């Protein structure tokens, strides 16, 4: 379980512009995200040691070139032993690292704060003058495709958006891009959520969080913690609604469901064969916005019924940012 970041020197570690120099940090994992962690922390002036069960030769070499101590071994005992002389201020865990990783267990036993790449990224989100809004999407099927479609719609509407995270470029790389985006859609997969910090004063404040996967089996609300505007979930399927109920969100955040049936007053769904939005309009009790029809989607080349949940989810994301139904329909006409 993730812990809050604690620093005995009482530095401000809630901003890119805080004093990170000289901090001793252990990074666990050296995949794409692990290297982005290493590169970012070195740029901030931290003293970094990275420990991994495996890594490519290129990443090992690059990490060493920028001044990082690198330990790569398939043996958990050897990885733990290699850290015996290291006294880190905190550790950051890559998304693919499991809860039974011996290095993480050893760090936690010693009381070292251990947290996720996403929580570090949240603290560092203000490198650029323009700070992106975050939309967090969990999943490996419908969620990923909905994230990509939502980004297409938002970009077409003139809202510069990038999908990052699991299966995409690392979030930290996007935050350091000299040409910042207005919105970042952060894709996470459920196993990585085990490292995420629960709701606290300094933790994440995404504008939205989304999970519509049928095979969502966890009841943990950590994905939705800190949401400021809307929690999007799958109506009547899986455990996504329970996850919203378990979360601690910012006062005023709404719960928005998507489903293949008729939507309620805060939902997106189907009325007969029409895709409609009843969540993002003034008179939700009596009106609904038509987005498209199943016939139009088939004519455009979408695969039904598989694509309907993806389209409804992307619609919910786009409508939350005032993208018009006509603009959404225009993108849907070109799958």
CA–CA distance, 112 with 93 (Å, rounded to integer): 12
Domains of the chain in sequence order: 24-121 (3.40.50.720), 126-332 (3.40.1190.10)
Task: Write out pLDDT tens, residues 171-205.
Answer: 999 999 998 899 999 999 888 888 898 877 768 99
User: Residue 210: which of 182, 171, 244, 172 has the closest Cα?
Assistant: 244
CA–CA distance, 215 with 197 (Å, rounded to integer): 23
User: Residue 132: which of 59, 205, 200 has the closest Cα?
Assistant: 205
Cα–Cα separations (whole angstroms), residue 79 to 7, 27, 222: 24, 12, 29
Task: Write out pLDDT tens, residues 245-267.
Answer: 999 999 999 999 999 999 999 99
* The pLDDT value given to residue 252: 95
Q: Pick the residue with more confidence: 122 or 8?
A: 122
Do the Cβ atoms of 112 and 90 come closer than 8 Å? yes
CA–CA distance, 51 with 63 (Å, rounded to integer): 11
Do the Cβ atoms of 224 and 236 come closer than 8 Å? no
Cα–Cα separations (whole angstroms), residue 94 to 10, 44, 51, 119, 200: 25, 18, 10, 11, 21
This prediction's pTM: 0.94
Residue 10's pLDDT band, with cuts at 50, 70 and 90, is low
């Amino acid at each position: 379980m993730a812990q809050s970041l604690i620093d005995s020197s009482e530095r401000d570690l809630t901003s890119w512009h805080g004093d990170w120099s000289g901090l001793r940090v252990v990074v666990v994992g050296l995949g794409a995200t692990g290297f982005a962690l290493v590169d970012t922390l070195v740029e901030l002036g931290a003293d970094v040691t990275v420990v991994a069960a495996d890594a490519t030769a290129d990443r090992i070499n690059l990490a060493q070139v920028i001044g990082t101590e690198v330990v790569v071994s398939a043996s958990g005992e050897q990885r733990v032993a290699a850290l015996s002389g290291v006294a880190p201020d905190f550790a950051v865990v890559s998304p693919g690292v499991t809860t039974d990783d011996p290095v993480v267990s050893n760090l936690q036993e010693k009381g070292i704060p251990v947290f996720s790449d996403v929580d570090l990224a949240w603290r560092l989100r203000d490198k650029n003058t323009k700070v992106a809004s975050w939309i967090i999407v969990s999943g490996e099927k419908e969620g990923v495709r909905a994230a990509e479609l939502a980004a297409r719609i938002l970009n077409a509407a003139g809202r510069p958006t990038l999908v990052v995270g699991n299966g995409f470029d690392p979030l930290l790389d996007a935050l350091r891009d000299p040409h910042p985006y207005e919105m970042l859609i952060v894709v996470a997969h459920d196993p990585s959520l085990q490292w995420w910090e629960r709701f606290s004063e300094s933790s994440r404040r995404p504008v939205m969080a989304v999970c519509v996967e049928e095979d969502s089996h966890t009841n943990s609300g950590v994905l939705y913690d800190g949401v400021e505007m809307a929690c999007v979930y799958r109506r009547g399927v899986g455990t996504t609604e329970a996850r919203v109920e378990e979360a601690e969100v910012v006062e005023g955040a709404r719960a928005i469901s998507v489903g293949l049936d008729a939507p309620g007053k805060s939902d997106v769904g189907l009325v007969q064969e029409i895709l409609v939005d009843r969540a993002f309009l003034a008179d939700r009790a009596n009106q609904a916005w038509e987005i498209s029809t199943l016939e139009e989607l088939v004519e455009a080349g979408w695969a039904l019924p598989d694509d309907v949940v993806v389209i409804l989810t992307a619609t919910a994301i786009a409508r939350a940012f005032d993208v018009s139904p006509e603009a959404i329909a225009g993108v849907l006409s070109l799958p």
